[in-house]
Amino acid sequence: MALDEPKDEDLSVETPHLTFIMAPDVESLVSQSGGLVIDYVDDGMRKGYTVTLGNQVGSDDCGSCGEGGGCG
């Protein structure tokens, strides 16, 4: 994830309070993964916003890292 200026080919998704701008390849990944979940965590040493692919919410193993037990 990076912050930069929007490009002509970027896609825009608007919510009542935020506008998300995504590159086409990112939008494809997000769509195939069931969307994004943005949450705020305040758990001791772990504090801040998290962005999780929709199909990984509540999952202990995302299946992509090959290690098992989660990806982050």
Spatial CA neighbour of 21 closest among 39, 33, 32, 8 = 8
In a domain? residue 2:
no
pTM as predicted:
0.50
In a domain? residue 37:
yes
In a domain? residue 16:
yes
In a domain? residue 39:
yes
In a domain? residue 18:
yes
1-58 residue pLDDT tens: 567 788 999 988 888 988 888 888 888 888 888 888 889 999 888 899 988 888 866 5
In a domain? residue 63:
no
Question: Structural domain of residue 20, as residue ranges?
Answer: 11-55
Residue 19's CB is within 10 A of a number of other CB atoms, namely 9
In a domain? residue 1:
no
Cα separation, 11 vs 21, in Å, equals 6
In a domain? residue 20:
yes
How many structural domains does the chain have?
Answer: 1
